Structure 1
């Protein structure tokens, strides 16, 4: 079954991320295993036009260094660079407490073309705005933040009755909107299976 395209409205995304449908009742190493293996199955079942080798990583946020409790490549073909993308997306979620896709859409909304022009900001304009707004380091001197990525796929794990986030789920390897969609769809499924 094909992935749905996620919303591009930051308010909708933030409301979704904090809704009960996406908030876990419990989150343990066993939950991470259940979520990670469900993500892997879902990624492997994607239609050919959406499926690519991907890296899945789930880390608990309770200490430094982070405690990775699940990590798996879906199939042959992932690259060492996927690990760098995982780290950068995770850092974005940890710093701002929202998904890396929501952070991208929030940044894009702030740099959209001139009012009434109907033009959207380019990917480079979004990246430049992100680096400038938060005074982030860019070793290339350009638009790419060294330690953060505002590309879909990094997602906060919230737990009922707990403020903040308890873990971060990251998928890297697909188109960024698909990285985000597979995580949200699978989290919703796993949370639903936990029941009330």
Structure 2
């Protein structure tokens, strides 16, 4: 079954991500395993125009600075064809979710919304606006954020009664809007099974 198109309205996306339909009752290693496998199954069942090899990663929202290691609960390639760069995208999307508390797709749409006067802004213009607005450092002084990505696929995991994000799930490898949507739809399905 094909994925629906995600919203391009940042406020709608943020409301959806924090809605009861997207908030887990609990989130354990078993939940991460269930979610990760459900994502892999869903991606493998996509029609050929949406399916590509992808990397799925689920990690707890622990600090990574100061030598604290990242706690990955689930990580898997869906099939042959992922490349080492997928891991870089996972890291950057995860960092975006951890810093701003919303999906990497919502951050992209917030940036695009700030460019209202620029009709049809290019990907480079969107990235440059993000780097400028948030004073994001770039190793080469350019318009690409080395540690953050505002491309769909990074998604916050929230738990009822817990303040903030407890984990981040990331998909990297599909078109960015599909990376986002496959996570949003699968999270909703797994949350519904918990209730």
TM-score, length-scaled by structure 1: 0.95
- How far apart, in 1, do the equivalents of 2:143 and 2:174 lie? 21
1:121 Cα shift? Answer: 2.1
Asked if 1:3 is matched to 2:3, the reply is yes
1:122 counterpart residue number:
122
1:123 Cα shift? Answer: 1.3
Asked if 1:93 is matched to 2:97, the reply is yes
Does the 8 Å CA contact 1:158/1:165 hold for their aligned counterparts?
yes
2:85 counterpart residue number:
81
2:147 counterpart residue number:
147
1:141 Cα shift? Answer: 2.3
Residue-by-residue CA offset, 1:84-114 (whole Å, 9 max, x unaligned) = 0000000000000000000000011001235
1:23 counterpart residue number:
23
2:114 counterpart residue number:
110
Does the 8 Å CA contact 1:113/1:121 hold for their aligned counterparts?
no
Give ranges in structure 2 of 5+ residues lacking alignment. Answer: none
- How far apart, in 2, do the equivalents of 1:183 and 1:38 lie? 10
Residue-by-residue CA offset, 1:31-76 (whole Å, 9 max, x unaligned) = 0000000000000000001000000000011453220000000000
- How far apart, in 1, do the equivalents of 2:126 and 2:109 lie? 9
Asked if 1:66 is matched to 2:70, the reply is yes
Root mean square deviation of aligned Cα: 0.9
Aligned residues: 191
Does the 8 Å CA contact 1:113/1:120 hold for their aligned counterparts?
no
1:171-186 aligned at under 5 Å gives the runs 171-186=171-186
TM-score, length-scaled by structure 2: 0.96
